[in-house]
Amino acid sequence: MCGIVGILCSDNCAGMMYNGLEQLQNRGYDSAGITTISEQNNTSEFVTSKFATTEKENALSLLRSHINRHSGDSVGIGHTRWATHGMKVDLNSHPHTDTRNLFTLVHNGIIENYLPLRTMLIGHGYVFKSQTDSEVIVNLLSHLYHTTDTLNNNDVCEYNTKTLDNVIDTIQMVIKKASEMLQGTWALTIISTLTPNTIYVTRHGSPLLISYNDNLAIIVSEKSGFCNKVTKFSCLENNDVCVLTRDVSGGKVLCKTLDNCVYTSIDLARTRDTLILPSQYNHWMEKEIDEQEDAYLRALSLGGRILSTNEVKLGGLEEKKTELLECKHAIILGCGTSYFAGLMGKIYFEQMCNFKTVSCIDGAEFETRNIIDNRTAVFFLSQSGETRDLYRCIKIARDSGCVLVGIVNTVDSQIARNVDCGCYLNAGREVAVASTKSFTNQVAVLSLISCWFSQESFHHNKCTQIIHHVRNLPTHIHRVLNEESVDTTLDSWSKNYFKEQSSCFLVGKGGSLPICYEGSLKLKEVAYIHAEGYSASGLKHGPLALVTHNFPVILFVMDDAHYVKLDSAYEELIGRHGTMCIITNSKTFVNKMLQHDKRNMNNVLYIQEQSEYTAPIVMNICIQKLAYKIACVKGLNPDQPRNLAKVVTVE
């Protein structure tokens, strides 16, 4: 869950690295740092600046004030960190340098066997300055470079290597040997004072992207880090070692890999994102909530994915149409927000499709035993397409002979490249840690996929109903995003009921239950409220014990088959003196409140969307806005909650 940038250029790489790290804060913002190689008087030395985020200042802001230290340097590596091993302090920040001062590296991933390796290296005289697993790797490289008998080909690795090419080859072999000794996941970008015009790159499980031409080489964790400096990039393959070096005679950038692999270039021309927040918004989360009407329309491809009142077209599924229609079972996988979107998809699949079984499983808990047989379609839900807990499921599903379907937002991401087929979310880039528009688009795409399966089974009447509501939903999204009464109600709730609260419940049933879970996650991560989602039928089984005077409960009352139970839950909660905040599309419930409980009418937020398929999406947007407003009232930063990262690339 870290961001990596490496630059090899003609001069002044630090500015480009800083811009890249700024783009990669979605992968972590606990600390940030860069190391460049300075060459003076025929000697090469590392220049490092690295800082941990403090209560007063972001790590990147601290780093920016030290960029001039690296002026003129042409080779460097940078890192933005989400802390896994070691506290959030400067010493644990990357890059890390070995005891002999020969190698510096940045690392994304987790080394599982770092403790025995650390003990071994301490025994050989290596001194550790940090608590990280990453410092073990850089000292291991140094140790292997100096220990010829650990290599199969002893004469390759002599300390006094005579030519630069031999040194590069030696380091390349050392990296390969070190990788064989490591257990876990890693993406490594390495520089050495022995070869000051060279960057070494390798990975195992964690992604790295490379782009280079005659004048410039850039290595990043994800394509946003390229900062529009390139138009194509290549994806480094697992366990390969890539060497990028500058010809000292002509200055030309050269690239070679240990295995001479050929990489496929991917066009970047249509993916030019920027990180400039428009002036009318205070935070990215506010902007991304506000973009959901347009994002939802893009999920429908502006209507291009809907051919008629009872037919959808999903081109991404067509190439595997025969295999998909032969599937008897469906498994939806996701983590966090994507998992809760998957629960909505499970409802759609159960109502619309002919699968014998439909299950939605947290990707972190998915195992082979969850697969009934190879007639199974496995759907991978991810905003980033890089979620490590989900990516590991690809091998499980593929080894079991399943059909793998990606439902991701980021084009050319790891998951997108490794599934059999899929549908992009088209939500646009999300910067805030809390997912908003990607959830909405995941639910939208899942509804379209359920229609696709349904129409192929000749259940056109089912498609007609859901397509009608899917087409009309943008109007209701627009209304809830723009009506002053919605903001007035949510402002009141945030200031009067939640500002001083540390806990609350969200209660629903049926289609609103996944929204309870997703809403509780938003309140946890953005507003720092311990929120829990419960079924209305489950209150009596324990949760009611916590409902006392002024305890806030958000109740979703939908005008569907579960209305009676939700109405009963309201009475139970009022009877325990809970503070009720109600989001409903039921005119029956509103009329009841007007007749019998006018004192609580100010706490009722009525939405006009009546469909059981799509009303939960509108209700969820209300909770997104509430979580954002509570964070602002509390003086919190909703874009970068403490201890979290946007892209979860470690298990």
Residue located via tokens 């939405």: 607
Contacts of 268 by beta carbon, 8 Å cutoff, 6+ apart:
223, 226, 228, 230, 231, 232, 233
Q: Quote the CA–CA distance of 411 and 417 in Å, as a whole number.
A: 9
For the CA atoms of the chain, what is the radius of gyration? 27
Q: Is 205 exposed, middle or buried (0-12, 13-18, 19+ CB in 10 A)?
A: buried
Catalytic residue among 2, 9, 504, 622: 2
Q: What one-letter code names the amino acid at 619?
A: M
Strand, coil or helix: what is 553?
strand
With CA atoms as reference, report the closest residue to 317 among 449, 179, 494.
Answer: 449
With CA atoms as reference, report the closest residue to 355 among 384, 382, 375.
Answer: 375
Strand, coil or helix: what is 367?
coil
Helices (H), 414-510: 414-418, 437-456, 460-482, 484-493
Residue 322 belongs to what H/E stretch?
helix 321-325
Cβ-contact 651, 296 below 8 angstroms: no
Residue located via tokens 């070995």: 98
In the DSSP assignment, the letter for residue 205 is: B
Q: Quote the CA–CA distance of 235 and 59 in Å, as a whole number.
A: 28
Please state, as a whole number, how many other Cβ atoms lie within 10 Å of the Cβ of residue 486: 20
Cβ-contact 386, 414 below 8 angstroms: yes
Phi/psi of residue 45, nearest 5 degrees: -145, 155
Q: Quote the CA–CA distance of 302 and 295 in Å, as a whole number.
A: 9
Query: Could you tell me how many helices (H) and strands (E) the chain has, helices first?
Result: 19, 26
Q: How far is CA 438 from the centre of its chain?
A: 11
With CA atoms as reference, report the closest residue to 169 among 182, 185, 183, 151.
Answer: 151
Q: Quote the CA–CA distance of 278 and 235 in Å, as a whole number.
A: 32
Phi/psi of residue 9, nearest 5 degrees: -145, -170
Q: Quote the CA–CA distance of 201 and 209 in Å, as a whole number.
A: 10
With CA atoms as reference, report the closest residue to 128 among 91, 93, 95.
Answer: 91
Active site residue 335: no
514-to-231, 300, 368, 533 alpha-carbon distances in Å: 40, 22, 25, 8
In the DSSP assignment, the letter for residue 411 is: T
Q: Quote the CA–CA distance of 199 and 457 in Å, as a whole number.
A: 55
Phi/psi of residue 507, nearest 5 degrees: -125, 135
With CA atoms as reference, report the closest residue to 508 among 637, 390, 638, 343.
Answer: 343
Q: Quote the CA–CA distance of 45 and 186 in Å, as a whole number.
A: 25
Q: Quote the CA–CA distance of 267 and 270 in Å, as a whole number.
A: 8
Cβ-contact 381, 332 below 8 angstroms: yes
Give me the active site residues, please.
2
